[in-house]
Structure 1
């Protein structure tokens, strides 16, 4: 974007109607500047524009200098307007508008030409940086007038850099501006966009900006992804070791904490493959991934399901377990019922035989004339009783 602005001159119409009035102008290199000179009244005298070297550009409608960049826009008795295209730094300076009255009256307009800064160049990205290390980046922009200002960004976040260093360019009135940025990088900075942007009145914000991704080397973080969440006996199965690092890990080592790998388990780089799962494959498996910067490891517990369990129906195991419990409960109920029946029969048997025992104990007491005789007869002292039988169950 080429910028051109104008500022009203200190000259104003006063009591002298023949005094010319001009405006100061600001334009970027390559732009077009318009010079306007006007008077309130004219006595048939011509208006004239002259450049910084006091060379006449236009006298009324007549071009005086052979420069095709300079064109007439308007020429009347009270106004003279010209343009200068493809403005260069050499066009910077004071231009004079004159009217040849008696005496000659003049007014000056200052043309400020802005040097457009070049697109910034970032250096210091030649080599990748290891996590925890420092990197110093340098941003440079040349050709600005006045000196440009530089700003650093990481993605959308502005970063504080060192104060700009300004140097004059030889053989032209422009400047080279340099800024430095020092960062201590982490793995989160990998592929982050580091940008340097130029701030200058000759361009719109963001027009001159350079971005470059930052490369950070870091050891891998590792995870294990199983082929299925419900591995079953007899099926083929694999565990995949996924490593996220810079560079990507290329070496993988598998092991089982309980001992060596099962006979039917085969290492295949990032994969551990099982040809036919078995309950003996249960255990904690560990994967180590190496990318040359460091080693990352992670473990995974493998639990093989029985072949009869339907992996598609997560309620199958609980349903089977419920059926088993129902069968066991029925058997227990039958056993308890049988035991109760036996206890009832046994109780009735004991009660009947105990009555018989009591009857034999009291025999002989019914015909006794007194208590002593009854006791003697009951204890077997009666002469008519040869023996006494007792029954115990």
Structure 2
């Protein structure tokens, strides 16, 4: 311990393990005295360090031989107390001195990794909340110490024995060729490299990387701007947590609606949002929109949020009239049909330029008057209102005497008669146009032939033009 040239005051890791198990805690003072003599222990450490490169590539027996040579220094004590003192000293100083030489030997092993490789680790990817299997394959295992550590370099298992109190980790297999542990209820905090370490002549380790995939939950839809008839609707689809980041898309009637996508890194996971702005009309009220979250871990089974478009618009009002004529003593029932979003909660009935009859009863959108009389004649008005407008419709009531004869005409025959009359008028006009056109054409042809006749018969032309006296005699001309 007092020799500054000695990197440590102990033998190789294999020998250290051998010495450590000899727990002679009652002779620590003797161990310290033995360590004070550089020639009795420090020299042996230097010899072991010099042999480290060869020990790394040699067999276990060669390692034991080197340690044995290290213990056999010229100043070796032959007494039992001396040997036991060395063992006790190793126990007291194992954490102080074992680590430097271990690192030294490991560095020597890295010179030729192919020959030193004694353990292989397998990378693992698992869904959050699932179970991960971390496996370490051993090559030429000779019974040396095997240690499994988590990403924080905390020892989970030491030669198959649990070292960390975490019941989620279980040793499933410990054999000369394979060491396998399981981790249940995996979370993103468990992600990282798990170390498989094999302590032989030197320390060999491989890292099994655990990757945790976080599938997205069903996304949510946030209304950024309410949809009013003639305006725009602004909707945002949000997937708050996934790893890797989920892909969001809006769909309507099987067609994708392009959106503005934003992504935020939350450290271990990602949050994603997609915002759309679409023009809306009254007919779009109740239209189905889907926000889908796509992720590699879902295997094509997308997470879907279904949303019904809510378009606000002013109400419309229509009074449904009774069928037939109304006579004194009959009952009247008028229903006010109202649409709108939101639907008006109340309906207002009134009579223009008058008050409602005493016998009038209002039940929701319906107005009823029993035992009608001619005093009830007049115009009745139905009104409805919501936050986006007001609408009204009216009905004129005409009550007849009980014995009055009233001709009723169906609206359908009037429509048919009107159509027939229109067709007849159109036909007459067409006939007149054709007749006039034909008459004009025939007159033009007659005048043309008349002029042609005058040119061919000069005497006739002269007779017409000079006005010869009749007394000169009658002549006949063939035209």
TM-score, length-scaled by structure 1? 0.55
Provide the rounded CA distance (Å) in 2 between the counterparts of 1:142 and 1:283.
63
Deviation string 1:198-226 (CA, Å, 9 cap, x unpaired) is 33345687886656655432122333334
Is this contact kept in 1: 2:119–2:136, CA < 8 A? yes
Alignment pair present for 1:83 and 2:178: no
Alignment pair present for 1:244 and 2:339: yes
Is this contact kept in 2: 1:253–1:289, CA < 8 A? no
Aligned residues: 288
User: Post-superposition shift, 1:264?
Assistant: 9.4
Alignment pair present for 1:162 and 2:259: yes
| Correspondent of 1:150 among 241, 245, 248 | 248
Provide the rounded CA distance (Å) in 2 between the counterparts of 1:79 and 1:124.
55
User: Closer, same or farther in 2 for the Cα pair 1:176/1:109, shift >3 Å?
Assistant: same
User: Post-superposition shift, 1:285?
Assistant: 7.4
2:65 match: none
1:276 match: 371
Alignment of 1:103-252 (within 5 A): 107-115=206-214, 117=216, 120-124=219-223, 128-153=226-251, 159-169=256-266, 172-190=267-285, 196-201=291-296, 214-226=309-321, 234-249=329-344, 250-252=346-348
User: Closer, same or farther in 2 for the Cα pair 1:83/1:161, shift >3 Å?
Assistant: same
| Correspondent of 1:38 among 118, 121, 137 | 137
Name the stretch that deviates more: 279-288 or 289-298.
279-288
SS at match of 2:123: strand
User: Post-superposition shift, 1:188?
Assistant: 3.7
SS at match of 1:90: helix
Name the stretch that deviates more: 297-306 or 66-75.
297-306
Is this contact kept in 2: 1:98–1:107, CA < 8 A? yes
Provide the rounded CA distance (Å) in 1 between the counterparts of 2:198 and 2:326.
100
Unaligned runs of 5+ residues in structure 1 are 1-14, 309-393
2:44 match: none
Provide the rounded CA distance (Å) in 2 between the counterparts of 1:292 and 1:48.
72
**Aligned-pair Cα RMSD in Å:** 4.7
Provide the rounded CA distance (Å) in 2 between the counterparts of 1:97 and 1:197.
41
Is this contact kept in 2: 1:39–1:79, CA < 8 A? yes
Is this contact kept in 1: 2:349–2:367, CA < 8 A? no
User: Closer, same or farther in 2 for the Cα pair 1:230/1:128, shift >3 Å?
Assistant: farther
Provide the rounded CA distance (Å) in 1 between the counterparts of 2:189 and 2:385.
62
User: Post-superposition shift, 1:307?
Assistant: 6.6
User: Closer, same or farther in 2 for the Cα pair 1:25/1:301, shift >3 Å?
Assistant: farther
Provide the rounded CA distance (Å) in 2 between the counterparts of 1:275 and 1:19.
103
Alignment of 1:47-86 (within 5 A): 47-86=146-185
User: Closer, same or farther in 2 for the Cα pair 1:54/1:284, shift >3 Å?
Assistant: same
Is this contact kept in 2: 1:45–1:77, CA < 8 A? no
User: Closer, same or farther in 2 for the Cα pair 1:99/1:136, shift >3 Å?
Assistant: same
Deviation string 1:126-148 (CA, Å, 9 cap, x unpaired) is x7442111232233333432222
SS at match of 1:136: strand
2:191 match: 92
TM-score, length-scaled by structure 2? 0.47
| Correspondent of 2:125 among 8, 26, 32 | 26
